[in-house]
C-alpha cells in the first residue's frame, strides 16, 4: 500500500512544483514506484519542470470524468524507472474536481505505487482542498521570508483542521551568508515560529534555474547543492536517517577544516 | 568571547525585526480576530467602564498583543487596553 504526500505552501512561488519534481525523481532513483499529480488546474507547470510537456495526451480531469483510463493518462518518464506524471488540465475550471474524487483516485493509485506526490496549487481555495483530500502526509514549503512563513502558518492550521496530522517543514532557498550576518531568519527561527517538525533544508542554488530551463530535475545533478538537499529529503521520506546540511553560516572549526580539505559535510 | 561578538554586532539585525513582526502578526492570524471583533470588544468595555468613570473615548486604545507568561518562559497573547480616565462618577465612590 502506497503513501500519498501533498506538497503545499499557501504562498505561490516558494518552490512547491520544483520540490515535487525533485522529490518524485529522487524517490524513483531509490527504486520506488512514484506518481506525481499536478492539481494546479488551469496553471499547470509540473509538466514543464519535469520536461514532459510534449507528451501530454490526457489529464487529471479526463481520468476523474472517466474520459480515459487511469493508465492512459499517466505519462511514464523514460529517463527514470518507475516515475509517472498525471498532469493537470490547462483549459478547465478548478471546480471540475471534487475532494471525494481525489480521495478515490489516490486510493486507486496507492494499490500500485509506493508514493503518490501531489503538487498543490497556491492559495487555500478549492484547489488546495482537492490536493489535500487524499493525503496521508503533508510537507509545508516555506522560504525564510515573512510572507512565506506567515502563509505556511495558515496552511499548517488548515491541514490540522482537516485532520492531516504532523505536517513536516521544508525550508527552501536558504542563504547561509545572509543567515550568518543576521539578515535572514535561520532554520531555528522558523521552526520556533511554526512549531512543526523539519524534513529538509534546501539552499538557494542557481542550478535549480538551470535544471528547470532544461526540464531535468536537479536531484539527478551531483554538483547541485539543492540537488544534494533533495536527495537527503528523499532518503528521509523512505525512512533513512540523514543529518541536516548546516546552513547557519556558523560552522564549527571542524567543519571549516573539513571544507578546507574538501571533505563534504554530511 | 561570545558576548564580545554580540557587542560588535549590529543592534537590530533585520531577521530579528522579521521574527518579531511575524510573531505579532501570527497572534492575530491564529486567533482569527477581525478589526470588527476588536471594535465590538472596545465598545462593550467603554459601555461598562462608563458606568463608573469618565473616560476619554478619543484616545482609548485597545489591541491584541503579546506578553511574557507568568512563569516568564513563554510569550502569550494578551488583550491590552489603555483607557485614560478623566474622572470618577458618583457610583464609583
User: What residue segments make up the domains of chain B, in order of their start?
Assistant: 34-93
> What three-state secondary structure class fits A99?
helix
Q: Which three cell numbers stand for residue A126?
A: 478549492
Average pLDDT on A225-248 reads 90
Q: What is the CATH number of domain A3-260?
A: 3.40.50.300
Domain ranges of chain A: 3-260
Closest alpha carbon within chain A to B5: A181
If you count them, how many residues does chain A have?
Answer: 266
- On the CB side of B12, CA atoms within 13 Å amount to 5
Average pLDDT on B63-73 reads 74
From A150, A96, A104, select the one nearest A127 (Cα to Cα).
Answer: A96
| Distance in angstroms (rounded) separating the CA atoms of residues A80 and A102 | 25
How far off is chain B from A182, nearest CA to CA, in Å?
5
Non-local CB neighbours of B8 within 8 Å, separated by 6+ positions: none
| Distance in angstroms (rounded) separating the CA atoms of residues A145 and B58 | 37
Q: Does A181 touch chain B (CB under 8 A)?
A: yes
pLDDT tens by residue, A1-20: 999 999 999 999 999 999 99
Residue B18 pLDDT grade (very low, low, confident, very high; cuts 50, 70, 90): very high
Q: Lowest-confidence range among A76-90, A158-172, B45-59, B64-78?
A: B64-78
How far off is chain B from A185, nearest CA to CA, in Å?
5
What is the distance in angstroms between the CA of the first residue and the CA of the last residue of chain B? 59
From A170, A158, A176, A231, select the one nearest A197 (Cα to Cα).
Answer: A170
DSSP E strands in chain A: the ranges are: 3-8, 34-38, 75-76, 83-86, 115-119, 137-142, 168-174, 197-203
CB contact under 8 A, B29 and A186: no
> CB neighbours (10 Å) of residue A115?
25
* A residues 31-90 closer than 8 Å to B (CB): none
Identify whether the C-beta of residue A230 lies closer than 8 Å to the C-beta of residue A211: no
Q: Does A135 touch chain B (CB under 8 A)?
A: no
B19 vs A153, A157, A193: nearest CB: A193
The model's pTM is 0.78
Instruction: Give burial (CB, 10 Å; 0-12/13-18/19+) of B42.
Output: middle
CB contact under 8 A, B13 and A185: no
Identify whether the C-beta of residue A196 lies closer than 8 Å to the C-beta of residue A156: yes
ipTM score of complex: 0.78
Q: Does B11 touch chain A (CB under 8 A)?
A: no
Give the DSSP letter string of B36-75.
HHHHHHHHHHHHHHHTTEEE-TTT-EEEEEEEE-TTSSSE
Highest mean pLDDT among A71-80, B9-18, B61-70: A71-80
* pLDDT of B64 higher than 90: no
CB contact under 8 A, A182 and B21: no
Q: Lowest-confidence range among A53-57, A91-95, A258-262, B83-87?
A: A258-262
| Distance in angstroms (rounded) separating the CA atoms of residues A184 and B11 | 15
Give A-chain residues touching B26 at CB under 8 angstroms: 150, 153, 193
Residue A113 pLDDT grade (very low, low, confident, very high; cuts 50, 70, 90): very high
Using alpha carbons, list the distances in angstroms from residue A43 to A47, A74, A98, A100: 11, 19, 17, 22
Q: Does B6 touch chain A (CB under 8 A)?
A: no
Amino acid at each position: 500500500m502506497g503513501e500519498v504526500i501533498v506538497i503545499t505552501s499557501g504562498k505561490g512561488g516558494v518552490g512547491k512544483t520544483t520540490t515535487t519534481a525533485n522529490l518524485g525523481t529522487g524517490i524513483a532513483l531509490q527504486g520506488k514506484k512514484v506518481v506525481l499529480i499536478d492539481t494546479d488546474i488551469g496553471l499547470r507547470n509540473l509538466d514543464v519542470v519535469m520536461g514532459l510537456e510534449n507528451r501530454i495526451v490526457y489529464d487529471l480531469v479526463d481520468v476523474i470524468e472517466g474520459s480515459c483510463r487511469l493508465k492512459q493518462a499517466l505519462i511514464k518518464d523514460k529517463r527514470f524507472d518507475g516515475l509517472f506524471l498525471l498532469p493537470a488540465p490547462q483549459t478547465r475550471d478548478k471546480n471540475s474536481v471534487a475532494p471525494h474524487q481525489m480521495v478515490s483516485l489516490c486510493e486507486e493509485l496507492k494499490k500500485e505505487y509506493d508514493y503518490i506526490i501531489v503538487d498543490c496549487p497556491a492559495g487555500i481555495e478549492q484547489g488546495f482542498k482537492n490536493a489535500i483530500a487524499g493525503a496521508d502526509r503533508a510537507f509545508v514549503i516555506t522560504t525564510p521570508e515573512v510572507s512565506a512563513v506567515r502563509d505556511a502558518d495558515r496552511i499548517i492550521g488548515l491541514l490540522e483542521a482537516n485532520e492531516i496530522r504532523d505536517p513536516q517543514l521544508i525550508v527552501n532557498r536558504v542563504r547561509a551568508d545572509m543567515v550568518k550576518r543576521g539578515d535572514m531568519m535561520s532554520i531555528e527561527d522558523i521552526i520556533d515560529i511554526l512549531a512543526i517538525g523539519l524534513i529538509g533544508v534546501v539552499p538557494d542554488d542557481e542550478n535549480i534555474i538551470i535544471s528547470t530551463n532544461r526540464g531535468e530535475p536537479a536531484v539527478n545533478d551531483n554538483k547541485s547543492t539543492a540537488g544534494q538537499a533533495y536527495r537527503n529529503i528523499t532518503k528521509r521520506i523512505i525512512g533513512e536517517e540523514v543529518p541536516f546540511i548546516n546552513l547557519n553560516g556558523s560552522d564549527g572549526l571542524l567543519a571549516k577544516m573539513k571544507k578546507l580539505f574538501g571533505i563534504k559535510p554530511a | 568571547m561570545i558576548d564580545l561578538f554580540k557587542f560588535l554586532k549590529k543592534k537590530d539585525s533585520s531577521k530579528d525585526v522579521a521574527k518579531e513582526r511575524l510573531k505579532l502578526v501570527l497572534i492575530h492570524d491564529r486567533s482569527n480576530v477581525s478589526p470588527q471583533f476588536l471594535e465590538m470588544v472596545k465598545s462593550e468595555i467603554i459601555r461598562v467602564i462608563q458606568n463608573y468613570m469618565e473616560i476619554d473615548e478619543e484616545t482609548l486604545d485597545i489591541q491584541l498583543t503579546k506578553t511574557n507568561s507568568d512563569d516568564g518562559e513563554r510569550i502569550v497573547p494578551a488583550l491590552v487596553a489603555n483607557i485614560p480616565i478623566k474622572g470618577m462618577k458618583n457610583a464609583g465612590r
